[in-house]
Amino acid sequence: MNGRTDFDVVVVGGGIVGLASAYKMTLSHPDIRIGVLEKEDKLAAHQTGHNSGVIHSGLYYEPGSTKAETCIQGRHELVAFAEKHRIPHEICGKIIVATRHSELGTLERIYQNAVESNIEGVEKIGPDQIKEIEPFCEGIAGLRVPCAGIIDFTKVAEKLGELVARKGNGNQVLVSHEVVGFDKHDFYTKVVTNQGDFAARYIINCGGLQCDRLARLDSVQPRMKIVPFRGDYYDLTEKAKEKVRALIYPVPDPALPFLGIHFTRTIEGGVECGPNAVFSFKREGYEKTDFSSTDAWDSLSYPGLWKLFLRYWRYGLGEYARAFSRKLFLRQLQRLVPSVQDEDIKPRKAGVRAQALERNGRLIDDFRIERQKNSIHVLNAPSPAATASLAIGDRINQIATEYFKLED
């Protein structure tokens, strides 16, 4: 292949997972030419730029699972990367707090996960220690997780993009390039975008909220669908933010893939509260009233979504009520910090999570990566994907090296 627009590998998606994958491939294969195509006018425009900015420890996940291993490895790499490139971050630690006796069994299981996964420094704490760490927090028992922290993931993504473009044999990171089709040929794929076509030997789909659609454009039937869940946040006011020193989390419901409403000190110095988790009628809809007829029909016509709704209808109704009721949202916050009042919170950003769902209604919890011909499709990269991104990039690079037979 010849010409200015040809690449050995095209990575579709300029979020942190796509950029980390391109970065790791650049390090391993400096002679290949990589193109990253992002449809928005900036990198990290969706999940990467709308999450809570937490560096997760890895203790929520089953020891030995891909999520646990990549989170722990990725956390160490991420901190080292941030230190090297002077990206704002802080290892401030967090506490997970039980407020009911019914949560103590789950809290113990989380602690055992930490022990089995060799997560450093995790310790059980009682009510007095909770108060020492977070004076305004109330709980009957908890865990202290000193290796958790906060970071600006958008700046991480931007630095990764800068490094990809700087290294390699003519790499490019292109924004405002939406992929709208793939035209297959014997030895290459023509990647069709809104700004022209690119010829590539291999494709890696890291499309996040659009990954299943991109897979279908590539004639892959992914046996799952991305269903969007919006997470709403509030900020503590300038006066009230002194009530939270670092990160305060509830004990999560083990039946659900969400961690519950929590308090997060941000890298800018504020404190955000959230998120809830409600079905979104638009894949990239960050306002409560956002609606897309295409996205809504795509989700609501999927049998798996209705099976999910039937299974969790009580939880879903509660989350919707909290989404539109400031009072109910506040009540959840007061379980952890009782002194927080209505005047202490103000609406903040929202995020949308790409939740992979099987046709039988089962939520896909772990990472899912599928290969077909000259393509790799990352079809589920849930939280803690941002924390784990550099380790996920290693795995995708390893798969690409073997599957595409790339030379070192």
Q: Which CATH superfamily is domain 7-48+154-224+365-403 in?
A: FAD/NAD(P)-binding domain (3.50.50.60)
Alpha helices in 94-226, H assignment, sequence order = 104-116, 127-133, 153-166, 211-217
Residue written as tokens 């509830």?
A: 250
Whether the pLDDT of residue 379 is over 60: the answer is yes
Q: Quote the mean pLDDT of the chain.
A: 94
| pLDDT score at 219 | 94
Contacts of 406 (CB under 8 A, 6+ apart): 8, 25, 28, 29, 32, 400
| pLDDT score at 3 | 43
Please say whether the beta carbons of 355 and 233 come within 8 A: no
pTM to 2 decimals?
0.95
Q: What torsion do the CA atoms of 40, 227, 375, 378 make, to the nearest 10 degrees?
A: 90
Concatenating the DSSP letter of every residue in 201-269 gives EEEEE--GGGHHHHHHHTT---SSEEEEEEEEEEEE-TTGGGG-SSEEEEPPPTTSSS--SEEEE-TTS
Mean pLDDT within 178-187: 94
In angstroms, rounded to a whole number, what is the distance separating the alpha carbons of residues 49 and 46?
5
- List, in sequence order, every residue forming a beta bridge with 231; answer none if it has no partner: 351
Q: Where are the domains of the chain?
A: 7-48+154-224+365-403, 225-235+266-363
Give the pLDDT confidence of 73-94 residue by residue, as tens digits: 999 999 999 999 999 999 999 9
Give the pLDDT confidence of 199-236 residue by residue, as tens digits: 999 999 999 999 999 999 999 999 999 999 999 999 99
